[in-house]
């Protein structure tokens, strides 16, 4: 493999940016507003910020469950679209509805029945004697409101993912921009009690998020049904809710590993953070700041992952297998180069961002150090994420399950568990040790992609 094979032509980059840019903009705006939300709640105090951070860990598991559950059907959506089979797209859309409703019911039950116990797992005394009971109460108040947004979020993802997989990436981006603007304005009003509204603190932040989710959902659904020419799959989508048995089996076979993968991966991340939390509540706050800021920069490789799945999936569905291999290699190279540059920017601002939070000096210093670690890992994350979406686009969901969540639970979680409970290692070296394990994942990803087992047309006649 020579360097020239990693660089595409102008047509390739036009296509890349056409797919990636709307997804990237939507992700950046969403995460930027999440950062502002986080800063606003952080102005109320360290305990409210920690309570919200813990609940957002739980909501994160739900969000990724939705993404993972819909991803199996989404593989077929992209390939049916590449084949120009609208009835196939329509059937995958219906399958997504069933998956979304099922996930909402399961997570609502868990959050409402076991929310307090789950939040308590993250509460441990540290060096600064922060108020654990107050943090628990803030978390419970926030969770009780946030569960309302699970349904509009799930429905919006059904529509939004189908639109993206069928080539319409701008509308979900526009809806996301409107939603985050609504969220930001309402956060300012409801958290601090502006324009005559009561100061509701963390509850105000939750209410703002719920309203924003409904706004986003209504925009995406409304636009889709009003633009049937651009969205032919929606014609007759509700005329029948039946999904062909053969397709259902295929989605279950390919989708179940993806769903399980996202649930296990996100819960694995929550367990890792729980391990870190044993070093004290101030660590929860620092990890929250670091994660919220990092997510803004992680948009680079996450958007590239979506781009890989869409471009490669459509090429595979159209039967252009060799072209899919060539463009996948170029997409991965671009993702790594982009994220190396983004990582440099992230490292430069790492000491500055925590200063905007109303928290202790210890929390700020630790958050800055954790951000530097995340910045150094950006190219590694870009490579592993692109490998994951490459394997997924060709239907190799069992392999992606092993590559992603199995790696977290078999390698990362045991290391974090042992270091946090059976050593006195400080949080920073512990965090570095766990993050560095992804270097092993890089080697595995390179091998799996190079083997080309993912090069499959799943919708061939």
Q: What are the sequence ranges of the domains in the chain? A: 3-450
**With contact defined as beta carbons under 8 Å apart, do 52 and 142 qualify?**
yes
**With contact defined as beta carbons under 8 Å apart, do 216 and 152 qualify?**
yes
Q: What pLDDT does residue 429 have?
A: 95
Burial of 120 (0-12, 13-18, 19+ CB in 10 A): middle
Q: What pLDDT does residue 218 have?
A: 96
Rounded to whole angstroms, the Cα distance separating 263 from 265 reads 6
* Residue 402 per-residue DSSP state: I
Residue ranges for the chain with pLDDT beneath 50: 461
Q: What pLDDT does residue 1 have?
A: 59
Rounded to whole angstroms, the Cα distance separating 391 from 448 reads 8
Q: Which residue has the tokens 């819909």?
A: 70
Q: What pLDDT does residue 460 have?
A: 64
CA 136 to chain centre: 25
Identify each DSSP E strand in 315-396 by its residue range: none
Average pLDDT, the chain: 87
Q: What pLDDT does residue 456 have?
A: 77
**With contact defined as beta carbons under 8 Å apart, do 80 and 88 qualify?**
yes
Query: Rounded to whole angstroms, what are the CA distances from 404 to 60, 62, 67, 314, 407?
Result: 16, 17, 14, 23, 5
Q: Which residues contact 87 (CB under 8 A, 6 or more apart)?
A: none
């Amino acid at each position: 493999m020579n360097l020239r094979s990693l660089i595409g032509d102008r047509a390739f980059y036009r296509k890349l940016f056409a797919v990636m840019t709307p997804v990237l903009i939507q992700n950046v705006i969403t995460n930027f507003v999440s950062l502002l939300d986080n800063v606003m709640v952080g102005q109320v105090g360290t305990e409210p910020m920690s309570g919200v951070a813990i609940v957002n860990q739980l909501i994160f598991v739900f969000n990724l469950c939705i993404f993972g559950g819909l991803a199996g059907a989404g593989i077929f959506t992209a390939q049916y679209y590449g084949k120009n089979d609208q009835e196939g797209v329509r059937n995958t859309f219906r399958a997504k509805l069933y998956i979304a409703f099922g996930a909402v019911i399961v997570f609502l039950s868990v959050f409402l029945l076991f929310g307090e116990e789950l939040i308590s797992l993250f509460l441990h005394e540290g060096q600064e004697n922060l108020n654990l009971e107050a943090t628990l109460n803030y978390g419970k108040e926030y969770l009780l409101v946030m569960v309302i947004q699970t349904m509009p979020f799930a429905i919006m993802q059904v529509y939004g993912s189908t639109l993206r997989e069928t080539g319409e990436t701008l509308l979900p981006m526009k809806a996301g921009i409107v939603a985050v603007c609504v969220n930001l304005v309402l956060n300012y009003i409801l958290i601090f009690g502006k324009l005559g509204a009561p100061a509701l603190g963390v509850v105000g932040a939750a209410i703002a998020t719920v309203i924003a989710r409904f706004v986003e959902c209504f925009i995406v659904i409304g636009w889709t049904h009003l633009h049937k020419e651009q969205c032919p799959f929606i014609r007759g989508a509700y005329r029948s809710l039946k999904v062909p048995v053969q397709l259902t089996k295929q989605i279950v076979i390919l989708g179940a590993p993806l769903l399980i993968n996202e649930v296990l991966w996100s819960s694995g991340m929550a367990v890792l953070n729980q391990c870190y939390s044993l070093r004290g509540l101030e660590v929860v706050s620092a990890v929250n700041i670091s994660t919220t800021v990092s997510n803004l920069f992680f948009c680079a490789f996450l958007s590239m992952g979506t781009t890989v799945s869409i471009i490669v999936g459509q090429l595979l569905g159209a039967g252009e297998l060799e072209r899919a291999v060539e463009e996948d290699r170029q997409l991965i190279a671009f993702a790594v180069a982009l994220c190396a540059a983004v990582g440099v920017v992230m490292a430069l601002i790492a000491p500055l961002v925590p200063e905007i939070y109303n928290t202790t000096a210890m929390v700020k210093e630790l958050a800055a150090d954790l951000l530097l670690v995340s910045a150094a890992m950006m190219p590694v994350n870009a490579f592993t994420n692109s490998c994951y979406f490459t394997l997924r686009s060709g239907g190799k969901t069992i392999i992606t399950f092993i590559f992603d969540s199995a790696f977290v639970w078999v390698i990362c979680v045991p290391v974090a568990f042992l270091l946090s409970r059976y050593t006195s290692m400080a949080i920073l070296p512990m965090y570095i040790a766990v993050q560095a394990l992804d270097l092993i994942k890089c080697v595995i990803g390179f091998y799996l992609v190079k083997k080309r087992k993912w090069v499959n047309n799943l919708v061939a006649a």
